[in-house]
């Protein structure tokens, strides 16, 4: 299974002066934890890291320190996440038929989640990891007043991995470019193309490290995990 990791953001909401994926988390850069999970996922056999070229040297240092056994390719990021994934799709090996796309910022995803998503291709051509929404969600109008309250039983918080048939997703990205669609996840492109997207059970701890509060939560979650795992090697042999 091919995996694309969007890692070309600026970390504005983190208030970071550089790519937030280099920030330390339990003595490793955030991106390292994402790569460790990908390395330990049985189904993943190729990794594409989509990053700004000015970050490639620092990412290569992370890769050298982890010494992953799986092939890794660095791919130039775009100005938006959508643009970065577009670039990633163009850079996939010719034999890529299915692809998982997983945010570098979702560094707490477990190998088990990645493998569960890989198995979802038995059922769907497009799918997202997701969890049920816990808060009541409000649709708010331009005046700041609540316009409606969607039925919470139908609301899910989309995460990544998101998985897609490569050819279909390339076509949806091309349609998006031509039509000027601006989306915050790849599933939205599939939906706009009228293609069905399934839900795969996500993980409550699979948060996207976006703000300093997320970083503190991630620190706590990883600390607990590392205590539970003892001195088990980070990378499974």
Ligand X SMILES: C[C@](O)(CO)[C@H](O)COP(=O)(O)O
Using CB under 6 A as the binding criterion, the count of chain residues that bind ligand CTP stands at 23
Q: Does 160 bind ligand X (CB under 6 A)?
A: yes
Task: Say how many CA atoms lie within 13 Å of 21 toward its Cβ.
Answer: 27
Q: Is the CB of 165 or the CB of 185 nearer to ligand X?
A: 185
Least distance from C-beta 231 to ligand X, angstroms? Answer: 32
Query: Secondary structure of the chain in the HEC alphabet?
Result: CEEEEECCCCCHHHCCCCCHHHCEECCEEHHHHHHHHHHHCCCCCEEEEEECHHHHHHHHHHHHHHCCCCCEEEEECCCCHHHHHHHHHHHCCCCCCEEEECCCCCCCCCHHHHHHHHHHHHCCCEEEEEEECCCCCCEECCCCCEEECCCHHHCEEEEEEEEEEHHHHHHHHHHHHHHCCCCCCHHHHHHHCCCCCEEEECCCCCCCCCCHHHHHHHHHHHHHHHHHHCCCCCCCC
Site for ligand X in 70-129 (CB under 6 A): 81, 103
Separation between Cα atoms, residue 198 and residue 156, nearest integer Å: 11
Least distance from C-beta 16 to ligand CTP, angstroms? Answer: 8
Least distance from C-beta 87 to ligand CTP, angstroms? Answer: 9
13's contact among ligand X, ligand CTP, none, with CB below 5 to 8 A by partner kind, is ligand CTP
159's contact among ligand X, ligand CTP, none, with CB below 5 to 8 A by partner kind, is ligand X
Q: Does 104 bind ligand CTP (CB under 6 A)?
A: yes
Q: Is the CB of 208 or the CB of 225 nearer to ligand X?
A: 208
Strands 126-132 and 198-201, how do they pair?
parallel
Q: Is the CB of 90 or the CB of 236 nearer to ligand CTP?
A: 90
Q: Is the CB of 168 or the CB of 234 nearer to ligand X?
A: 168
Site for ligand CTP in 14-43 (CB under 6 A): 14, 20-21
50's contact among ligand X, ligand CTP, none, with CB below 5 to 8 A by partner kind, is ligand CTP
84's contact among ligand X, ligand CTP, none, with CB below 5 to 8 A by partner kind, is ligand CTP
Question: Which residues form the interface with ligand CTP (CB under 6 A)?
Answer: 6-14, 20-21, 50, 77-81, 84, 103-105, 208, 210
């Amino acid at each position: 299974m091919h995996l694309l990791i969007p890692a070309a953001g600026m970390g504005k909401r983190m208030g970071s002066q550089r790519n937030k994926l280099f920030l330390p988390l339990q003595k490793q850069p955030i991106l390292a934890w994402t790569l460790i999970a990908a390395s330990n996922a049985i189904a993943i056999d190729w990794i594409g890291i989509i990053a700004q070229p000015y970050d490639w040297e620092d990412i290569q240092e992370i890769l050298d320190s982890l010494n992953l056994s799986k092939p890794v390719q660095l791919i130039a990021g775009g100005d938006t996440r959508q643009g970065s994934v577009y670039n990633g799709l163009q850079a996939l090996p010719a034999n890529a038929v299915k692809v998982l796309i997983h945010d570098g910022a979702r560094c707490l995803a477990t190998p088990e989640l990645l493998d569960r998503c890989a198995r979802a291709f038995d059922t769907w051509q497009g799918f997202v990891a997701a969890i049920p929404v816990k808060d009541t969600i409000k649709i708010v109008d331009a005046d700041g007043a609540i316009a409606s309250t969607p039925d919470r039983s139908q609301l899910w918080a989309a995460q990544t991995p998101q998985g897609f048939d490569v050819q279909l997703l390339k076509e949806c990205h091309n349609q998006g470019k031509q039509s000027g669609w601006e989306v915050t996840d790849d599933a939205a492109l599939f939906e706009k193309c009228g293609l069905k997207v399934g839900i795969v059970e996500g993980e409550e701890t699979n948060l996207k490290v976006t703000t300093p509060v997320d970083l503190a939560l991630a620190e706590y979650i990883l600390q607990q995990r590392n205590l539970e795992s003892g001195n088990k090697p980070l990378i499974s042999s």
